Amino acid sequence: MADRAYNFNAGPAALPLEVLRQAQEQFVDFGGTGMSLMEMSHRGKVYESVHYETEKLLRELAGIPDHYKVLFLQGGASTQFAMVPMNLGAPGKVAAYVHTGAWAAKAIKEAKLFGETAIAASTEADAFMRIPSSGELNIPDNAAYLHVTSNETIGGVQWKEYPDTGSVPLVADMSSDILCRPLNVAQFGLIYAGAQKNLGPSGVTIVIIREDLIGQPAGTVPTMLQYATHAKSGSLYNTPPTFGIYMINLVLKWLQGQGGAAAMERINREKADILYREIDESGGFYRGCAEPGSRSLMNVTFRMADEELEKRFVKESEEAGFVGLKGHRDVGGLRASIYNAVPLESVQALASFMREFKRRNG
Ligand code: PMP
């Protein structure tokens, strides 16, 4: 750890040190080719083997069935907010959404550009501090799909169990929690995630889509924004983000070395428990934002008595080597993002800092 910061950034976020070192080692000369991977044709054998190996690793780690396609796209998860309704919407159907906070709101706003939408449930009345129960969902009969945000990165709430939507395809934005725990892909019609939190650097967005949903879109959709274009070409229709995909490859191998998604979940629970315990046992000095049953394993959000104290916490934490603890500008407060690659030692160091800060200011 020596000169590494305690990195709690929300995304782009901490990457495994091992991965950074490997990338550094291979940066100038990839596997004796005399070139960086970044300097190679995406149609060449060397890059292609990295590309398809990355897909294979993701299939293994996420348990992706054969009748799903894996796509590596650009434009961030924000472009998926539009691609989902453009491709999955149909005349006479409504796009249904669960409104759980800031990221769900952005997805809904975009879907409204393309047709009728319905809010199947909203937790706005509870300031988005919880995930609705299945019983609260009201899915229209003519829903084209139901969209959920599996982890609200800003609010710090996370789905524990996904709803059974019957024949309505379930679509999930897993940008901030993909592979933080085992996943049953068969429950979903489509999953998407920007890579920059749990999978690698920014610039790549992963889409996992059930083959029967990759039809010809109903409206006029630009070629680059059709899932079919990328599914048919193995995400090589145009130049893919080669370096980002290579970094995902290294992160997935690291994840495999950790024991896969099940082992990752155990470690993530241990990390999250340390911080939530620190909050809960602080006698009200720290106050967790999310309702306990909806607490995120990835983004621990909390507040203190007043903003002055929160400012002091941020300032002093920065002086002590902690990065990224200030809450999102829209909601304030504090947030520790503890994605897969954030080491247990960083979390332990933060818990000690929190205790010490409370002792001095409580
Ligand atoms: N969804 C969620 C849950 C996110 O956390 C983010 C980014 N923080 C996005 C979507 C948007 O991702 P991008 O910046 O890759 O467009």
The protein residue with its alpha carbon nearest to ligand 1, atom 3, reads 175
* CATH no., domain 18-257: 3.40.640.10
SS3 335: strand
**206 CB under 6 A from ligand 1?**
no
Residue 362's pLDDT band, with cuts at 50, 70 and 90, is confident
**12 CB under 6 A from ligand 1?**
no
Catalytic site positions: 103, 173, 197
- Read off the pLDDT of residues 190-239 as tens digits, 9 standing for 90 and up: 999 999 999 999 999 999 999 999 988 888 999 999 999 999 999 999 99
- Read off the pLDDT of residues 279-303 as tens digits, 9 standing for 90 and up: 999 999 999 999 999 999 999 999 9
- Read off the pLDDT of residues 44-68 as tens digits, 9 standing for 90 and up: 999 999 999 999 999 999 999 999 9
SS3 97: strand
Distance 175 CA to ligand 1 centre (A): 6
Residues in a beta bridge with 190:
171, 209
- Read off the pLDDT of residues 336-358 as tens digits, 9 standing for 90 and up: 999 999 999 999 999 999 999 99
CB atoms within 10 A of CB 33: 13
- CB contact at 8 A, 169 and 145: yes
Pairing of strands 322-323, 6-7: parallel
H or E segment to which residue 54 belongs: helix 45-62
- CB contact at 8 A, 301 and 127: no
Residue 254, both tokens:
């690291």
pLDDT on residue 107: 98
Handedness of CA 86, 88, 91, 94 (dihedral sign): negative
Residue 150, both tokens:
């599996």
Kindly give, in sequence order, each residue whose CB lies less than 8 Å from that of residue 309, ignoring residues fewer than 6 positions away: 361
Q: Structural domain boundaries of the chain?
A: 18-257, 261-361
DSSP E strands, the chain = 6-7, 68-73, 94-99, 117-122, 143-149, 151-152, 157-158, 170-173, 190-194, 205-210, 287-288, 299-303, 322-323, 334-337
Ligand 1: atom nearest CA of 202 is 15
The protein residue with its alpha carbon nearest to ligand 1, atom 14, reads 76
Query: What kind of architecture, by CATH, is found in domain 261-361?
Result: Alpha-Beta Complex (3.90)
Number of H helices, E strands in the chain: 9, 14
Ligand 1: atom nearest CA of 174 is 3
Distance 76 CA to ligand 1 centre (A): 7
Q: DSSP state, 73?
A: E
Alpha helix segments (H runs only) across 202-329: 227-232, 242-258, 260-280, 307-319
Average pLDDT in the 30-45 region?
A: 97
**103 CB under 6 A from ligand 1?**
yes
Kindly give, in sequence order, each residue whose CB lies less than 8 Å from that of residue 120, ignoring residues fewer than 6 positions away: 96, 97, 98, 137, 138, 139, 140, 143, 146
pLDDT on residue 3: 83
Which of 150, 158, 174, 176 most suits a substitution to test ligand 1, by most atoms within 8 Å of the C-beta? 176
Q: Which residues of 161-181 are buried (b: 16+ CB within 10 A; e: fewer)?
A: ebbebeebbbbbbbbbbbbbb
Average pLDDT in the 160-176 region?
A: 97
The protein residue with its alpha carbon nearest to ligand 1, atom 9, reads 77
Residue 2's pLDDT band, with cuts at 50, 70 and 90, is low
pLDDT on residue 216: 87
CB atoms within 10 A of CB 157: 26
The protein residue with its alpha carbon nearest to ligand 1, atom 10, reads 77
Under the phi-then-psi rule, with left for phi > 0, alpha for psi from -120 to 50, and beta for the rest, what region is 325?
Answer: alpha
Alpha helix segments (H runs only) across 151-214: none
Q: Any idea which residue has 């990338």 for tokens?
A: 23
Residue 29, both tokens:
């000369």
Residue 162's pLDDT band, with cuts at 50, 70 and 90, is very high
Which of 131, 153, 180 most suits a substitution to test ligand 1, by most atoms within 8 Å of the C-beta? 153
Kindly give, in sequence order, each residue whose CB lies less than 8 Å from that of residue 303, ignoring residues fewer than 6 positions away: 286, 287, 289, 310, 332, 333, 334
Distance 298 CA to ligand 1 centre (A): 14
pLDDT on residue 187: 98
Integer Cα distance of 350 and 269 in angstroms:
16
This prediction has a pTM of 0.98
Distance 362 CA to ligand 1 centre (A): 35
Distance 193 CA to ligand 1 centre (A): 8
Kindly give, in sequence order, each residue whose CB lies less than 8 Å from that of residue 43, ignoring residues fewer than 6 positions away: 236
Residues in a beta bridge with 99:
122
Pairing of strands 170-173, 143-149: parallel
pLDDT on residue 339: 98
